[in-house]
Structure 1
Amino acid sequence: MELLHCPSTSIGQTTATVTQHWRFSYNSITNCRNFKVSSRKTSFFDFFHLRICGAPAARICMRPLSIRACTQAGTTGSDPLLNKVSEFKDACWRFLRPHTIRGTALGSIALVARALIENSNLIKWSLLFKAFSGLFALICGNGYIVGINQIYDIGIDKVNKPYLPVAAGDLSVGSAWLLVLVFAVAGLSIVASNFGPFITSLYCLGLFLGTIYSVPPFRMKRFPVAAFLIIATVRGFLLNFGVYYATRASLGLLFEWSSPVVFITAFVTLFALVIAITKDLPDVEGDRKFQISTLATKLGVRNIALLGSGLLLLNYVGSILAAVFMPQAFNRSLMIPAHIVLALCLVFQAWLLEQENYTKEAISTFYRFIWNLFYAEYIIFPFI
């Protein structure tokens, strides 16, 4: 039995010893990800060769039984059907744009938590299913909006985001259409059957705005002001107001603004505006090629990055001032230091972007960091 080492496979200090019982190190195999096993009918004692090789991907080959470890998604088994199912699941997950799902989920959970904290005496376990169904409906709405955008942006995405499943060819246009229709119907059905006509109308408004953002002949994403107003409205106002309204209605309460909810709605609406103008920073190359007019193509990457950073700093300064002048409404001991730290992190990230001369990689890192700040605000919101 032969054991060969290569740089792409991490074995550590382990030396495989072949004994009469055909032992080998299981740990050396499990260090690799996603095993693909292929075999023919044979006994384990028919093994006569073990190789660990890796050019270019890490592999563990056993003849006639072969176990190949590779870093590509979807290689979960030798069954072609299982492989196709796994690949389809991976494509669907990328189709949903996970970073947007995290924002939607965190936002809805934070608003529900805030409403429950304000009315803890009305909490009922029977409402748990309704809360999860509402969250699922929001994720469906999110999936519809980002999905229909990918369907109509295939050419642009092949330049700007070639890793997206439709642009990469991992998900057919027909499958993409089926998914967005399922998302729309499922989400709308859940909302209509559980949350009443007013919330249903808000949900429909969100779907409508998401549609005209991407679909011709409207395609409002062509117009910078209209584009970022749509994003700010859907992700900022509609999400926060709608979730808070629905939660209070489920508790049997009339809608009433509270200072923290007014704060988070205003804060996130402005934040969504920043996301809307900075999301085009990594996409300047493709937008120029397809003559898509954005603030980034008109004003330049550096100017938009500075504008976005400035608006977020304004958000943080406003948060600190709100805590200073309204101590009865906010938890000052958390709200002030938390927003100071987040503001300093933003300044540091903007400085790094300047130091790296606004390369595409640096811009992508900066944009991801803005989303992390977005998540952070919702995480601390229930406690402020």
Structure 2
Amino acid sequence: MDLSSASTSIRVPPIVPRWNSSYCMKMPIKAKPITSNLFLGFPRSCSKPVSRGQRRPNSIMACSQVGAAGSDRPIADRISDFKDACWRFLRPHTIRGTALGSFALVSRALIENKDLIKWSLLFKALSGLFALICGNGYIVGINQIYDISIDKVNKPYLPIAAGDLSVQSAWLLVIFFAVAGLLIVGFNFGPFIFSLYTLGLFLGTIYSVPPLRMKRFPVAAFLIIATVRGFLLNFGVYYATRAALGLTFQWSFPVVFITTFVTLFALVIAITKDLPDVEGDRKYQISTFATKLGVRNIAFLGSGILLLNYIVSILAAIYWPQAFRRWLMIPAHIFFASSLIFQAWILEQANYTKEAISGFYRFIWNLFYAEYALFPFI
């Protein structure tokens, strides 16, 4: 279901004294122009260096005492920085999953009912996609607001943890996402879809917000993720699309397949998402499967569930040839399964370093995208 900003050059004294900070470089800095990321004219706090794929183009590796120099930056640059922080706040990889899932289910419903396609439905489809992105933004945003301390250890590149987005701005964004999504769904998709959408927001809230904060409990956490990203998204989008076409809801073999497949896949995402975060979760006593069972065991468990998913997909194509295109479904899932085995082998050879774990988790998301991209054609 992905901005750069100009930077302000300033000069610092020839030698900057050392100071104690776990986030700053502890060495003298020779005089030379440096750049500083400023948020709306104010100096941002120093953050840990992040990987190349996550580093912003104008980020710096040391703290600078810039005072009020940021007020001289052009307003266009400060707006660009704010847009960049908002985009990272939305967690783009989750948006891609939501958007691809919506596109796949809508496409399937239209393929099954080609004679009912009308251009007048395009606006309704786009408004529904925007509502889903708003719901996605609310859930990942509320999680970041309540996970600031943990994110400073696990994900220091996220905008609140990095000091690029204030908590007040984050709250305004999540309130906007919730209100906009509810209004769009309420006015365009009827009471049943509105109730499903509200349920999704509720589950996303209790996942992160005290006193329930269900993410503390591994089983409850992965069930919530699987329900929202698996069942609610797929069933809800397909139901809403058929309703927009003037049809009553009816399951089909492909839709049963993708709903079941993605729900199990969401379980894997739920248990493997904590693999790169073990350090921070242990520090803040967040109980996850990764902290309880160990990184290696969870990687094997997640890979095993996905392999089972792919084997069942191949068998479904064999036993129900009238429902699926064998020539596409069987070789595609053999390829996905083989790629997964290879990536698990790479992770094992890398001895489960944090960089290798992060790469493995990104690969799982790529498999998730690939399944949705394949679905309309099976």
Shared fold (TM-score, shorter chain, > 0.5)? yes
1:355 is matched by which residue type in structure 2? Q
Q: Which residue of 2 aligns with 1:157?
A: 151
Q: Aligned to 2:346, which of 344, 349, 352?
A: 352
Which ranges of 4 or more aligned residues in structure 1 deviate by more than 3 Å? 33-38, 54-57
1:110 correspondence with 2:108: no
Q: Aligned to 1:334, which of 303, 328, 333?
A: 328
Task: Please give the residue correspondences for 1:98-177 in structure 2 after superposition, counting only pairs within 5 Å.
Answer: 98-177=92-171
1:348 is matched by which residue type in structure 2? F
Q: Which residue of 2 aligns with 1:71?
A: 57
CA distance in 2, matches of 1:182, 1:124: 31
1:91 correspondence with 2:85: yes
Q: Which residue of 1 aligns with 2:256?
A: 262
CA distance in 2, matches of 1:147, 1:205: 17
Deviation at 1:80, TM superposition (A): 2.4
SS at match of 2:221: helix
1:215 is matched by which residue type in structure 2? V
Q: Which residue of 2 aligns with 1:10?
A: none
Task: Please give the residue correspondences for 1:251-290 in structure 2 after superposition, counting only pairs within 5 Å.
Answer: 251-290=245-284
CA distance in 2, matches of 1:312, 1:173: 37
CA contact (8 A) 2:193 2:240 kept: yes
SS at match of 2:230: helix
1:379 correspondence with 2:373: yes
CA distance in 2, matches of 1:211, 1:317: 35
Task: Please give the residue correspondences for 1:218-297 in structure 2 after superposition, counting only pairs within 5 Å.
Answer: 218-297=212-291
Deviation at 1:84, TM superposition (A): 1.1
- TM-score scaled by length of structure 1: 0.82
2:57 is matched by which residue type in structure 1? T
% identity of equivalent residues? 80
Q: Aligned to 1:298, which of 271, 292, 299?
A: 292
Larger gyration radius, structure 1 or structure 2: 1
CA distance in 1, matches of 2:103, 2:238: 10
Q: Aligned to 2:76, which of 74, 79, 82?
A: 82
1:317 is matched by which residue type in structure 2? I
CA distance in 2, matches of 1:268, 1:199: 20
SS at match of 1:291: coil
CA distance in 2, matches of 1:35, 1:241: 44
CA distance in 2, matches of 1:236, 1:293: 23
Deviation at 1:82, TM superposition (A): 1.1
Deviations 1:99-128 (A, max 9, x none): 000000000000000000000000000000
Deviation at 1:146, TM superposition (A): 0.1
Deviation at 1:326, TM superposition (A): 0.3
CA contact (8 A) 2:230 2:259 kept: yes
Of structures 1 and 2, the one scoring higher in RCO (CA 8 A, sep 6+) is: 2
CA shift in 2, pair 1:37/1:165, >3 Å: closer
CA contact (8 A) 2:154 2:280 kept: yes
CA distance in 1, matches of 2:182, 2:58: 35
- TM-score scaled by length of structure 2: 0.83
1:178 correspondence with 2:169: no
1:369 correspondence with 2:360: no
CA shift in 2, pair 1:294/1:37, >3 Å: closer
CA shift in 2, pair 1:356/1:37, >3 Å: closer
Deviation at 1:71, TM superposition (A): 2.5
Task: Please give the residue correspondences for 1:182-197 in structure 2 after superposition, counting only pairs within 5 Å.
Answer: 182-197=176-191
CA shift in 2, pair 1:35/1:147, >3 Å: closer
Superposition RMSD in Å: 1.8
Any unmatched runs of 5+ in structure 2? 10-31, 36-55, 60-71
CA distance in 1, matches of 2:197, 2:114: 27
CA distance in 2, matches of 1:144, 1:161: 18
CA distance in 1, matches of 2:188, 2:301: 41
CA contact (8 A) 2:5 2:80 kept: no
Deviation at 1:79, TM superposition (A): 4.9
CA contact (8 A) 2:206 2:212 kept: yes
- The count of aligned residue pairs is 322
CA distance in 1, matches of 2:7, 2:215: 43
Deviations 1:228-275 (A, max 9, x none): 000000000000000000000000000000000000000000000000
CA distance in 2, matches of 1:261, 1:272: 16
